[in-house]
Structure 1
């Protein structure tokens, strides 16, 4: 298995965690303010990683810290947008609209790095865009406040992917340290905002604690560290396409745990997006060439046998 494929599988696992995170955020927001919730989840994730991997984190250079601070700021804006977005739209819509990153990332890549996507990627992007449209647009085409915030989240996260892509390909930046310290900076920004704009409180119910800890450990700590490490072996645009699976996982979680139901066309959209991911990941040309080469080899062997 190639490093690129391993990275993509790791990113799919990250996407699964984020798909589940919408319903967990919705549970926590019934008792904790949005900024406070994000402060808790990022700071818990940071200190857990610091305790578990302190020897690998104690010697950090300025370049890694500088990029961690920038990416942490982008993440803070992403999570402010999505957390407030979840409060003012459905769980399914939040997941789907945040997935617009898949469209925005290659546009930014082309604008900033002048890297035009290949024909296969363009086809997959079109499939994902149609899929997202089928899953999100209603008859009135009227976005709620939460929808607008989630679209803003998608744009800022595309910027975040570009920053991570730039950082992890610099020799002086340690990808693992970057993955951990970005959590610390994000948590710090959120904590300051929560003190200024909210009254921080601790959860009072075991169910809220459980949801918050799962958000902190798996959906934040593990997910963002894995993303940064995996992104060394793939492109920001590729990551954006894989993250298009997030609304599919969000819809599945909302279906089973929150009782949300989608229109039939929305499920068609989900299947279209899944098909796009499969097309992106499978090298059909290589498979066909290997098949042709195998057939030619059998024919040659058969001819030699006859001779």
Structure 2
């Protein structure tokens, strides 16, 4: 059993690994085609996660497999937009635009459930939206195909987050197994597309193999599974807002790996994003309660 705060902390670590994955994916795509690269890393991530959690995985049921096929499809579509986007635009642009997931989740939730989220989530979302706008508008000279694909990927992943929350609320579906199964289906879909549209091969460079294994272990086996599991203990809106940290982490990694530099307004945007997440994660009721107790003393 996880507390909401611990669940959110795990999501922050997952987002950190996902931000790093953009740099490694860009490197891996210099040696392999998109579907080929996706199939290998997702298959490895699936095998690693299944082996590490084999006792739980052996108890998998029909409902979890069906749910995993749906989440796997959404994850696969997200990766298509992200990976093709990376081949057409900068790492900074990609990670900034993918972080629009933080805006799409509460927006879609409001439309579907016809219910406004709590006030601090609204404030945090507006702050994150301003930050992402500053991050992107100063760094993009006209949206290209790659940028559009990244925005679509962000919207699809927002749907993934919301549907994952619905699935893990069911008593028949084990969250850990669901997180693992989606990886297997994403690998299957990518493998089929690779055989249909590409010439599948294995990487020849040890550096590319390192990138693939790192991605498989940390961003896939840990990150993707963790996101599904923690959604039992936190809201889809919280998960969406934590995604707003991704452009900050991604910009730092892009700078050190490829020398991509942020403009002053982009740095301001990053500050908006960061403090919006802090705002949403801070327990204001607990803070006010402690403040009142201090005054009474």
TM-score using structure 1 length? 0.94
Residue 294 of structure 1 aligns to a residue in which SS?
helix
Partner Cα separation in structure 2 for residue 228 and residue 198 of structure 1? 31
Query: What value does the CA root-mean-square deviation take over the aligned residues?
Result: 1.4
What pairs up with 1:250-289 in 2 under 5 angstroms?
A: 250-289=250-289
TM-score using structure 2 length? 0.97
Report how far residue 105 of structure 1 moved: 0.7
Moved more, 218-227 or 280-289: 280-289
Report how far residue 141 of structure 1 moved: 5.2
Which residue of structure 1 lines up, in the alignment, with residue 83 of structure 2? 83
Which residue of structure 2 lines up, in the alignment, with residue 302 of structure 1? none
Q: Deviations over 1:105-162 (max 9, x none)?
A: 1111112122311221111111111111111114875101110000000010011011
Report how far residue 175 of structure 1 moved: 0.5
Moved more, 287-296 or 184-193: 287-296
Report how far residue 59 of structure 1 moved: 2.2
Structure 1 runs of 4+ with >3 Å offset: 138-141
Structure 2 gap ranges (5+): none
Partner Cα separation in structure 2 for residue 140 and residue 118 of structure 1? 32
Which residue of structure 2 lines up, in the alignment, with residue 205 of structure 1? 205
Partner Cα separation in structure 2 for residue 243 and residue 205 of structure 1? 32
Note if 1:106 corresponds to 2:97: no
Partner Cα separation in structure 1 for residue 98 and residue 120 of structure 2? 23
The number of residue pairs the alignment matches comes to 297
Note if 1:157 corresponds to 2:157: yes
Q: Deviations over 1:234-267 (max 9, x none)?
A: 1111100001111111100001111101111101
Distance 1:160 1:56, change over 3 A: same
Which residue of structure 1 lines up, in the alignment, with residue 64 of structure 2? 64
What pairs up with 1:79-228 in 2 under 5 angstroms?
A: 79-138=79-138, 142-228=142-228
Which residue of structure 2 lines up, in the alignment, with residue 50 of structure 1? 50
Q: Which has the larger radius of gyration?
A: 1
